[in-house]
Each structure stands twice: as C-alpha cells, then as structure tokens.
C-alpha cells in the first residue's frame, strides 16, 4: 500500500508543481529571461503557459524622438495589451543592442505595479499590476539610455494575457518590439549637459543640485529601482540630507515639464 501511495505522489507531483508555478508564483512577476529577445534566446511566457506566442505591433510606446535617443537621457515607456478573454495580464520587457546585450537602466513606476527582473536588466509586473481595466492593461515606467554609444536599441516585450483559470491552458502570449537609433542631434551641446549640476559627488550624506527651472520634481532611486527620496518642488541649490541612506550607487532624477535628466550619485 505504501508503495502505491508513493507511486501516485510521484505521478501527481510534476502536475502540481506546474500549476503552482503557473497559477500562483508568477502572478508576482516574471522569473526573468522571458521577454522574447535575442539575449533571452527568444524565450517567452510560453515556456510555462501553453500556446504559441503571437507578434503584435504597437504594444510598446515611448517619448523617444523620431531622430533617436540621446545617451544618458531618461525616457517614458508604456506597454499596453488588449485581450477580451484575459482575466489577468503579466509581462516582461527588456532593451538590447544589436548584439543582444542588455543596455540602459529601467526605473520602476511609483504606482507599485512594476519591478525589476533578470538581474535588474528587465522590468516586469508585480502582484498589484495584473488586473485589467476592461479588456486592456497598461504599465508605465522609465528607461535611461546608456551613457555610451551602443547604436540601435530595441525594446522587446512578452505579455501573458491569462484567462485566470488557475492553470496554463487557454492563455494568449503576445510579443512586440520597437527599435530606436542613437540621435546625433544635440550631442555635445551645453544645454543638454547643463540641465542640472549636482555636488558633491561622491557624497558623504548630503548634496545640493543647481538647476535652471522654476519647478522641478526630484527623485532619488536605488539600484533596485525603488524611490528612496522624492520632492515635488525642489528649489535650486537647496541642501538635501541623505544621511539615512546606505552607501552605494543611486540615480538622481530631475523632471520638469516634458524634460527628464538622470545622473548617477555615489554615497560613501
């Protein structure tokens, strides 16, 4: 009798584990490496969910100009998907150069619906970011272009439009990509580089930022993408106390109207 029970447990274990991972664990985000990109070997959500990935243009949109991105600049990215049969949505999105290398830095949204994945080289949903509005779902976040010339950058995404039946069947996996070349317009022009000046850097617990705008939103972000300090209306040259932050590298982002500029800060 004992051997018979052991046989049934061994038989059911793989099915139970598959349902656990597909129906529960990944509600909290992609396991990573499932964007459908060349750097991810084309892997998508179909590795865990039944079906064939379908290419769908227009799911990824950004405010990167038609002339291309500028190195070091930060841009808004939006991913949207529609499926009338979906009860939940999930995604993974990454950015790569022509050789499949991950490039740039993703910054998660303040609404708690996104998080970093795949060693901080991609972005995915959280458990709070899976519920559709009607038959659609949108995620918004930002991406900082690499500081050096890497040529054409392509954003790749895979979205799982899940029917929420608790299993892996009946889901639709949608893939999309969009490419941008590096802009040669404005590179080396002083106004681009002088959007704000930050000192001291490295810092031992406080900084001040000089900028040229009447209103500016200041955000300081750790390497996990979490906003650790934010001020809606930061006045130029006002002292900022960061003594409560751990030592390490942070991103300092200043946003005014339609412009966003990001710099790296080292706290020692």
Last residue of a domain, one of 180, 210, 245: 180
Pair (81, 202) in one structural domain: no
pLDDT at residue number 138: 94
Distance between CA 166 and CA 163 in Å, rounded?
8
For residue 156, being part of any structural domain is answered with yes
pLDDT at residue number 168: 61
Distance between CA 148 and CA 154 in Å, rounded?
16
- Chain Cα centroid distance, residue 216: 23
Q: Give CA torsion, residues 26, 29, 31, 32, to 10 deg.
A: 150
Under 8 Å between Cβ of 124 and 29: yes
Distance between CA 234 and CA 240 in Å, rounded?
10
For residue 252, being part of any structural domain is answered with yes
pLDDT at residue number 97: 93
Q: What is the CATH number of the domain that holds 261?
A: 2.60.40.3080
Domain limits for position 234: 194-267
Last residue of a domain, one of 129, 150, 180: 180
Number of H helices, E strands in the chain: 2, 17
Under 8 Å between Cβ of 252 and 242: no
Q: What is the CATH number of the domain that holds 167?
A: 2.60.40.4060
Pair (97, 207) in one structural domain: no
Counted domains in the chain: 2
For residue 187, being part of any structural domain is answered with no
Q: Which helix (H) or strand (E) holds 9?
A: helix 2-23
Pair (168, 212) in one structural domain: no
For residue 188, being part of any structural domain is answered with no
Work out the angle at residue 76's Cα, subtended by the Cα atoms of residues 214 and 132, and round it to the nearest 5 degrees.
125
pLDDT in tens, the chain (268 residues): 545 444 444 444 444 443 333 344 456 889 899 999 999 999 987 766 656 788 988 899 998 877 788 899 899 999 999 998 888 999 999 999 999 999 999 999 889 999 999 999 999 999 999 999 988 999 999 999 998 889 999 999 999 988 776 666 668 889 999 998 887 554 444 333 445 788 998 999 899 988 877 678 888 988 777 889 999 888 888 999 999 999 988 888 887 765 677 788 889 8
């Amino acid at each position: 009798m004992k051997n018979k029970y052991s046989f049934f447990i061994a038989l059911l274990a793989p099915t139970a584990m598959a349902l656990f991972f597909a129906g529960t664990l990944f509600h909290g985000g992609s396991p990573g490496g499932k964007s459908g990109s060349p750097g991810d070997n084309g892997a998508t959500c179909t590795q865990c969910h039944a079906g064939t990935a379908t290419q769908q243009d227009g799911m990824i949109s950004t405010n990167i100009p038609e002339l291309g991105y500028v190195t070091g600049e930060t841009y808004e990215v939006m991913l949207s998907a529609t499926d009338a049969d979906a009860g939940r949505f999930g995604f993974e999105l990454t950015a790569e150069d022509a050789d499949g290398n991950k490039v740039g830095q993703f910054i998660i949204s303040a609404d708690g619906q996104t998080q970093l994945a795949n060693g901080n080289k991609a972005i995915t949903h959280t458990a709070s970011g899976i519920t559709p509005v009607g038959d659609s779902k949108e995620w918004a976040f930002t991406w900082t272009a690499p500081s050096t010339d890497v040529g054409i950058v392509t954003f790749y995404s895979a979205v799982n439009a899940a029917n929420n039946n608790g299993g892996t069947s009946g889901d639709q996996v949608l893939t999309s990509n969009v490419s941008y070349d590096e802009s040669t317009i404005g590179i080396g022009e002083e106004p681009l580089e002088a959007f704000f000046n930050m000192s001291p850097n490295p810092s031992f617990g406080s900084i001040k930022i000089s900028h040229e705008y009447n209103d500016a939103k200041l955000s300081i972000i750790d390497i996990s993408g979490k906003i650790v300090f934010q001020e809606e209306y930061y006045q130029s040259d006002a002292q900022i106390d960061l003594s409560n932050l751990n030592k390490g590298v942070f991103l300092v982002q200043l946003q005014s109207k339609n412009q966003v500029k990001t710099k790296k800060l080292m706290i020692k």
